[in-house]
Chain A
Amino acid sequence: MGGEFDWTVIWKYREALWDGMLTSLKLFAIALAGGIFFGTLLALARLSSWKALSLPAAGFVNLIRAIPFIMAIFWFYFLTPMIVSKFTGQQGEAVGPFTSAVVAFIMVESAYYSEIIRAGIQSIPRGQPAAAYALGMTYWQSMGHIVLPQAFRNMLPVMLTQAVILFQDTSLVYVVALKDFLGAASKAGQLTGRIVELYLFVAVVFFILCFAASWGVKRLQARLAVAR
């Protein structure tokens, strides 16, 4: 190291870095949407009085939450191609790091979100679904119009906090050689020998994005507190 920082490398590799950021954001968005959707279904399954639903759901959530995130990503990188080839009969058809990362992220995030949403549903007084049923609504109408909207509202700050954590966790995909934002910066750093500048840049970008999001969550919390 020459003692002097050379920040021009960031500009020079801006396209690769931007592509990496897009990959990170894409993974984040898919994992968030999938995690909330399947997390909601998992939460409903766990709260079901039907044991054939609640027990497997509880088992899945506890299993996923008990293993390190990075293990799940590794697993799916190697497992999804095997499962896919089992079903399609084609041998050795790799699904690629992005698809397997997406599968891993959705499964892990749905387990985390299901716990948040379950707590949200349980925070709604039992009289609310009872009133919906008394008006002739079905289970899904009661959930969709009465229980879940209130549960999501109560849980919004926690869900957004989890989203911030999720965004940071997208950098874990470097283990399956997926070129996300951090991966792109690493590559550029190795090529130019300016790894310190690039990692500092990555840290600053993550800090700005996540700090802004946390600040937004705080403001939202204050607004929700007034509205109630």
Chain B
Amino acid sequence: MAMIEIRNVSKWYGAFQVLKDCTSRVEKGEVVVVCGPSGSGKSTLIKTVNGLEPFQQGEIVVNGTSVGAAKTNLPKVRAQIGMVFQNFELFPHMSITDNLTLAQVKVLGRTREAAVEKGHKLLERVGLLNQKDKYPGQLSGGQQQRVAIARALSMDPIAMLFDEPTSALDPEMINEVLDVMVELAREGMTMMVVTHEMGFARKVAHRVVFMDHGQIVEDCTKDEFFGTPRSERAQAFLSKILHH
């Protein structure tokens, strides 16, 4: 059974169709990179996986639970899936430690002490334990995104979703975030990553999904994707982002 199963998903904003009959899957321990030009629907697709974006047709099953079903306890599903956003979305009115512990205490019911211990362990892992008492606004973008990854991991997720995690970063900060993600991938975390970082895809992806105009036009192994892309659009997109 796949960890994330996306079956014939379609979504409309009014009359405009943003997702067209998308089908894909992420196996346990698999790293799937989703790429494509902006406006292709890749961010929307990844947000449907944990129900942040509703969809009108099709089905998404995460670890055996149908996300779109009316009776599904969405908070419970979401608590199991970590998500990292383009703009970090740390909570600016809370210290780094509180950012890491709030959901552990309120959602998972952990004690404050256990949550702090877990949070600090993860901060150490992303190399930011010395920032634990600061506020998000005092950190650089790269540091904030590493905290955001630690925050998602603090919930012991069964899978991680990354929505363009490096797009809002200055170039010199991209690698510190990618390094954390590569390490995570090598440890066997199930990951679905929307990104333009093809270097990351080459390094750790098992499969690459290429989207254009709301459709999945390629869904193949990494070697197939970088070797002989089957669609012209993927070819054009790759040559555009690889040649600079």
Of A134, A145, A149, A150, the residue contacting B52 (CB under 8 A) is A134
CB-CB < 8 A to B90: which residues of A?
131
Closest to A146 in B: B91
Q: How far is the CB of B75 from chain A (nearest CB, A)?
A: 5
Q: How far is the CB of B145 from chain A (nearest CB, A)?
A: 12
Asked if residues B93 and A136 are in contact (CB atoms below 8 Å), the reply is: no
A141 contacts the other chain (CB 8 A): yes
Of A127, A137, A228, the residue contacting B75 (CB under 8 A) is A137
Interface size on A, residues (CB 8 A): 19
CB-CB < 8 A to B92: which residues of A?
150
A128 contacts the other chain (CB 8 A): yes
B83 contacts the other chain (CB 8 A): yes
The answer to whether residues A137 and B85 also contact, given A146-B91, A149-B93, A150-B92 and a CB cut-off of 8 A, is: no
A135 contacts the other chain (CB 8 A): yes
Asked if residues B89 and A136 are in contact (CB atoms below 8 Å), the reply is: no
Asked if residues A128 and B106 are in contact (CB atoms below 8 Å), the reply is: no
Asked if residues A135 and B85 are in contact (CB atoms below 8 Å), the reply is: no
Q: How far is the CB of B88 from chain A (nearest CB, A)?
A: 8
Asked if residues A145 and B106 are in contact (CB atoms below 8 Å), the reply is: yes
B155 contacts the other chain (CB 8 A): yes
Complex: A150 Cα to B202 Cα, angstroms: 41
Q: How far is the CB of B1 from chain A (nearest CB, A)?
A: 22
Q: How far is the CB of A38 from chain B (nearest CB, A)?
A: 24
Q: Is the interface of B mostly helix, strand, loop or mixed?
A: mixed
Complex: A69 Cα to B85 Cα, angstroms: 46
The answer to whether residues A134 and B102 also contact, given A127-B89, A228-B137 and a CB cut-off of 8 A, is: no
Q: Mark A142-157, 1 if CB is under 8 A from B, else 0.
A: 0001100110010000
CB-CB < 8 A to A125: which residues of B?
87, 89
Q: Mark A122-139, 1 if CB is under 8 A from B, else 0.
A: 000101101111111110
Q: How far is the CB of A18 from chain B (nearest CB, A)?
A: 40
Asked if residues B93 and A135 are in contact (CB atoms below 8 Å), the reply is: no
Q: Work out how many contacts link A and B, with CB atoms closer than 8 A.
A: 63
Asked if residues A134 and B106 are in contact (CB atoms below 8 Å), the reply is: no
B190 contacts the other chain (CB 8 A): no
B107 contacts the other chain (CB 8 A): yes
CB-CB < 8 A to A146: which residues of B?
91
B79 contacts the other chain (CB 8 A): yes
Asked if residues A130 and B103 are in contact (CB atoms below 8 Å), the reply is: no
Asked if residues A127 and B79 are in contact (CB atoms below 8 Å), the reply is: no
Complex: A130 Cα to B74 Cα, angstroms: 13
Asked if residues A141 and B107 are in contact (CB atoms below 8 Å), the reply is: yes
Asked if residues B50 and A150 are in contact (CB atoms below 8 Å), the reply is: no
CB-CB < 8 A to A141: which residues of B?
106-107
B76 contacts the other chain (CB 8 A): yes
Complex: A144 Cα to B150 Cα, angstroms: 23
Asked if residues A128 and B75 are in contact (CB atoms below 8 Å), the reply is: no
Complex: A132 Cα to B90 Cα, angstroms: 9
Asked if residues B107 and A134 are in contact (CB atoms below 8 Å), the reply is: no
CB-CB < 8 A to B118: which residues of A?
none
Closest to B107 in A: A136
Asked if residues A130 and B89 are in contact (CB atoms below 8 Å), the reply is: yes
Complex: A161 Cα to B78 Cα, angstroms: 40
Closest 8 CB pairs of A and B: A136-B79, A131-B89, A135-B103, A134-B83, A136-B107, A127-B89, A136-B78, A136-B75
Interface residues, chain B, with chain A CB atoms under 8 Å away: 50, 52, 74-76, 78-83, 85, 87, 89-93, 102-103, 106-108, 137, 151-152, 155
Interface residues, chain A, with chain B CB atoms under 8 Å away: 125, 127-128, 130-138, 141, 145-146, 149-150, 153, 228
